[in-house]
Structure 1
Amino acid sequence: MLTRVMYVTVYVTDQDRALRFYTEQLGLEKRIDYPGPDGRFLTVGAEGHPFEIILWSHAPAAGQPPRAEEASAPGPIVLESDDLKKDVGIWRERGVEFDRHEPEEYPFGLRIEAWDPDGNQISLRQQRPVVAEQG
């Protein structure tokens, strides 16, 4: 029986640039950085959570081109914040570019979209608090 999702892979053209974006701009932490036989195995993750994102080096022609059109890009990486409006301000100061000025309200909570330097879409979200039903 499966017990957890360990990794998801994001193709990048420059692992050092991607590492700076995901750690210095989004605030994830570097987990693994190992020069393996098939290339550098580099992961990042949110502090205190076991899930990791592999930043895998891939040539631009073989992977996703920088600023790929949304229609041709794979699904986004979805990251959750406990205070999205505050974090958007911090990320914007760090140079992260978003699809709109402020997070948009949805039935599930708040959402705003960003892209990493290779055009990988990142959906940043904050879930709406669950209100207990009164009976």
Structure 2
Amino acid sequence: MLISGILTVTVPVADQARALDFYTGVLDFEVRTDNPFPMGRWLTVAPKGAATTLLLASWFPGMAPIGGLVVSAPDLDALAARLAANEVAHEGPSEEAWGRQLLFQDPFGNGYVVSQA
């Protein structure tokens, strides 16, 4: 085996402080690293207990938002309620041929597909 896992996915954000508020405050992610970096902060977050982290990177101003990041949640109805309470537009939960899903974007246009775990 040449590659054994995915450690970090870079998510482009225009404002790391605002991104941190969204990912920790709305999505309840935890901060894994928050260190000075020559171009800002090396700021990673993840769902509690998850192995893969998201690098909230502001130093790629020309990088387009990422679409279709697929994540899982045990309770899509609770997530939908949390998003609505924080005025985050979302679609679903909906029943699809492959199961239940919910769609939303972070404040920077990065798109998520959430499947029920």
5+ unaligned residues in a row in structure 1: which ranges? 65-72, 128-135
Looking at structure 2, the residues matched to 119 and 47 of structure 1 have their Cα atoms a distance apart, in angstroms, of 23
SS in 1 for 2:83: helix
SS in 2 for 1:89: helix
* Mapping for residues 2-41 of structure 1, pairs under 5 Å: 2-41=3-42
4+ aligned runs moved over 6 Å, structure 1: none
Query: 1:119 aligned to 2:82?
Result: no
CA RMSD of aligned residues (A): 1.7
Query: Structure 1 residue aligned with 2:84, among 92, 96, 101?
Result: 92
Looking at structure 2, the residues matched to 74 and 53 of structure 1 have their Cα atoms a distance apart, in angstroms, of 12
Task: Please give the TM-score of this superposition, normalised by the length of structure 1.
Answer: 0.77
CA gap of 1:94–1:74, structure 2 versus 1, over 3 A, is: closer
- Show CA shifts across 1:28-73 (max 9, x none): 111110112343110110101111000000365x133xxxxxxxx5
5+ unaligned residues in a row in structure 2: which ranges? none
Give the structure with the larger strand fraction. 2
Shift of 1:14: 0.2
Query: Structure 2 residue aligned with 1:106, among 93, 96, 99?
Result: 96
Larger Rg: 1
Query: 1:56 aligned to 2:48?
Result: no
